[in-house]
Amino acid sequence: MSYLEKMFSLAGKVAIVTGGGRGIGQVVARGFASAGAEVVILSRSGADETVSLIEKDGGRAYHITTDVTNEESVDAALAEILKRSGSIDVVFNNAGICKHQSTFEATLADFREVIDVNLTGEYIVARAAGKIMVERGIKGSIINMASMSGGIVNIPQWQCSYNASKAAVIHMTRSLAVEWAEHGIRVNSISPGYIGTPMSADTPQELRDAWMPLIPMHRMGKPEELIPPMLYLACDAAGYTSGSDVIVDGAYTCL
């Protein structure tokens, strides 16, 4: 193994990916596994396909049914991971939802649901994993899923609850990075722009047509293009990187 391969390797590490049953989570989970990590998918809806794909690639993975908004569910899942795998080294806090609704259309329950999953869920998982890392002296990496929407307002669709949740995730990430720096735990976030996943097939064409002129690269990103920055944030090569928000948006936020 070359120097660079060792630097960017996740061999011997255990990586958690929440919401890894499909989309970006699935792609990143496969990327982590290809880098040598044992990957554990936490999701409510199952992840048989992701686990199967990783195993076909020659990697190791398993799934635990988990509700990230429920502290007891998360604690039980992490306890099982420690029992089965012996460590928690990397966490990709990916589980999230988005509701395209105007503020007057959305109910308070709608707003609270988005905040509960996107912000509180990430807090619960990060807090539980961080506590284990501190107790065991693990110099781990926690990567929170943010979004370019945490810094801009998307148009023409309205998604106030999502934008607010992602802005909060970015600042929560900075706060945890400073708080846990003395323990050697790195906390960063990643902010994708519009990424083309199988789920994007449900996006109305009129929205796609409206987005393209706003993206300087005039295309949606590929989920595989998130693997390199994710791998960097997860591995030891990023030993001095913490509290950062890595934007991968085709230069959308530059305008």
Strands (E), 56-98: 60-65, 90-93
Torsion angles phi and psi, residue 9, rounded to 5: -80, 150
CB 65 within 8 A of CB 48: no
Out of 123, 162, 194, 252, the active site residue is: 162
The DSSP bridge partners found for residue 191 are 247
Rg (CA), the chain: 18
CB 25 within 8 A of CB 33: no
Q: What would the two tokens of residue 199 be? A: 């789920």
Out of 166, 194, 242, 252, the active site residue is: 166
29: left (phi over 0), alpha (psi -120 to 50) or beta: alpha
Out of 43, 85, 147, 161, the active site residue is: 147
Q: What would the two tokens of residue 6 be? A: 């060792």
Q: CA 82, CA 158: separation in Å to the nearest integer?
A: 41
Q: Give, for 81, the enclosing helix (H) or strand (E).
A: helix 71-85
Q: What would the two tokens of residue 21 be? A: 């049953």
CB 183 within 8 A of CB 228: no
- Has 83 been annotated as catalytic? no
Q: CA 207, CA 156: separation in Å to the nearest integer?
A: 7
Q: Which residues are marked as active site?
A: 147, 162, 166
